[in-house]
Structure 1
Amino acid sequence: MSATQRFCAQESLALGDPLAGSAAHAECNLLLSWPRAKWRRSLRQASDMSEEVSTRLEAIAEEGRRVNLIHRRSQPEECHRLYLMPENRRYEVSRNELSTFLVALQRGAPLAQWEIDPPAGSLLLCCTHGKKDKCCAKFGYAAYKALATAVDLYELPFEVWESTHLGGCRLAASAVVFPTLRKYGRINDEDVLSLLESEMANRPYLPCYRGDSRLSPIQQCAQVAALEWLAARGIHGEVSVAQPSNEQESSRWWLAVHWQSGSDTGRLAVYCEPRMIQRYDTCADLAAGPPAASQVWVATQVMDTGKASLYS
């Protein structure tokens, strides 16, 4: 197989690179609609942006709010849709007022003159940033089309957008749901409807779930393991994951997980192990030589009230 036919997402899958623990994402976000054809390799820059807008977006990012460009064909090019997350606020801003809006945002000034009704349902972004990685163009765009088609066909309460880089190109197709900040990877056609149904029930779709972005990688690993353990027993509920214990046993770390489903509650102990794998993070790395060594977390055991249950 030649280098031009290889994809980091396929290499990652063949390697057994886990999804759980890969969901890092800033909690505060600014999403700005901009035609995909104009996107640059940077997740927040476009070729036809004015220098002032470009500079403002960089400053906003430096102040701690992640900036992504988003796109869908129905959005007029000169009228920009913007979202603030986790505030779940939505705005419509003309191209010639965009700099004024961004200045007001930075200063904490009122934005009411541009604000429109908040989203009626969840916002679902699917990375299609081909200038960043060819996996996102190939697998990400296919997933976006399937998700958008299903939402339109079944009239589901989602806004689906293409997005610039969401992190984890090797896990394409990659998506994030706002305002819950649940991240997904390796979305295939057969996952689309089940993922949307799970999100409508306010539950993560476990086959593609990467974790809660507000947790650390080891906590995400424990969270996904606990949710899968519960789902195997027909239990769907909320889980909260404690910080890992300071005590280390044979290179394993245990995390306490509390779960609640209606009036039922329980506690689990999830054992996680760090492992080193040789992987390519992006398609650009494929031509750069041997893959880099990266640490991942793997859940090896889930225990309930002192009774060990092997997790595999």
Structure 2
Amino acid sequence: MTTTGRFFCADAARARGDSMVGTAPHGTAWVLIEYRGGWPANGFDGLALEPGTKALVFAAAQAARARVLLVRRHGRQHHQGPPRWAVLRYDGTGAHRQRWGTWDRDEELTQIVQALDTPDLNAPAFGTASLDAPEEWGGRPVVLVCAHGLHDACCAVRGRPVGRALSERWPELVWECTHVGGDRFAANVVVVPDGVYYGNLDAGSSVAVVGEHLAGRVRAEHLRGYTDLFPPQQAAVAAVLDRFGPAGRHDYAVARTLRDEDGWQIRVTGRPPGPAAVDVEVRARRTPQNRLTCRGPATSSAVVYDAVSIRPA
């Protein structure tokens, strides 16, 4: 996977044994814009779109705290019809709240603004949760594979083989996407609107992990975290999954989070056959200074969240 003399942040992170637990960026809304040309290093921000349209979409996404990602099918071929856009939201119920549309002209992307301004994508104005979603997957979650090589080399080197493997298995569900965070954990896969981040994947493990996810089983291995939770809470849920085995995305919930001088006391409640409630103690620590990305030569430290105890509530 490496080239002699060249630095790859994902290789270095694996050699160090970097923990990826609790590293999923917080957020519950996503904007996907299919863009079939080359992706700028800074993604949507770098696109040469009509300025007024771009400003409207950017402002609406900021107001909704939505992440904007450029997407494309693997291989950049076999395009049918105009490119698509989507707004997806996680609401905690498991419903796949999605609004899809198409665009030929830049100005048509203003449809995204209306979708972002509608909190409930199940509202009558939008019909069902998957209105305008391709019929072949009927509102199932979307699988995003970060393959943004201009942002970080590891996203391309590790992401594209994963994109190929997943696309061959679930061609209707899988899109390659721009930067999702955590370059050193490439290949990264995000399932939306479930809001689940997976990392350190390769072609084989990605098919297994996504297959389990689609079957309603999230495993602790390769899990970075749930995006509706904050890092210590993500670490607590991951620890419960690691201790008691895989579970559905909504089988565990964080019921209480208490901060103390040593860290956090987090109560996680569950559904059968998992435990009804457990208390997880999480502590944070900083790593030594390391080079964490391929593009940046500067070093920095990262925060690691460790679950130091798990006990019945």
Structure 1-normalised TM-score?
Answer: 0.82
Q: Write out per-residue CA displacement over residues 184-221 of structure 1, whole angstroms, 9 at most, x where no aligned residue.
A: 11111231232122112222232111111000100000
Please name the residue that 2:196 is paired with.
182
Provide Cα deviations, 1:145-165, integer angstroms capped at 9, x if missing partner.
11112225xxxxx51001011
From 249, 253, 272, give the equivalent of 2:264: 253
Decide which structure has greater strand share: 1
Alignment match, 1:282? 293
Q: How many aligned positions are there?
A: 288
- Indicate if the aligned counterparts of 2:196 and 2:225 stay in contact, CA closer than 8 A: yes
Equivalent pair of 1:271/1:301 in contact (CA under 8 Å): yes
Residue matched to 1:300: 308
Residue 84, structure 1, aligned to residue 87, structure 2: yes
Partner of 2:92: none
Q: What pairs with 1:131-280 in structure 2 (closer than 5 Å)?
A: 131-152=150-171, 159-231=173-245, 236=247, 238-248=251-261, 251-261=262-272, 265-278=275-288, 279-280=290-291
Deviations 1:68-127 (A, max 9, x none): 11011357498221111113121122226524534645776x679xx6246522200001
> What one-letter code is carried by the residue in structure 1 that aligns with 2:132?
I
- Deviation of 1:4 (Å): 5.4
User: For the residues of structure 1 that align with 2:56 and 2:240, how far apart are their CA atoms?
Assistant: 42
Cα distance in 2, alignment partners of residues 212 and 269 from structure 1? 18
Contact 1:124 1:176 in 2 (8 A): yes
Deviation at 1:271, TM superposition (A): 2.0
Q: How far is 1:180 from its partner?
A: 0.7
**Contact persistence 1:79–1:95 (CA under 8 A):** no
Structure 1 residues 13 and 94: CA distance shift in structure 2, 3 A:
same
Identical pairs, percent: 26
- Aligned residue for 2:240, secondary structure, equals helix
Deviation (angstroms), 1:176: 0.7
Deviation string 1:6-48 (CA, Å, 9 cap, x unpaired) is 111122222222121001142122111001x421112314545
For 1:52, the equivalent position in structure 2 comes to 52
Structure ranking higher in helix proportion: 1
Letter in 1 for 2:146: C
Contact 1:128 1:162 in 2 (8 A): yes
Bigger radius of gyration: 1
- Residues 219, 241 of structure 2: 8 Å contact kept: no
Q: Residues 80 and 46 (structure 1 numbering): CA distance in 2 closer, same or farther, change over 3 Å? A: farther
Task: Give the aligned residue type for 1:211.
Answer: G
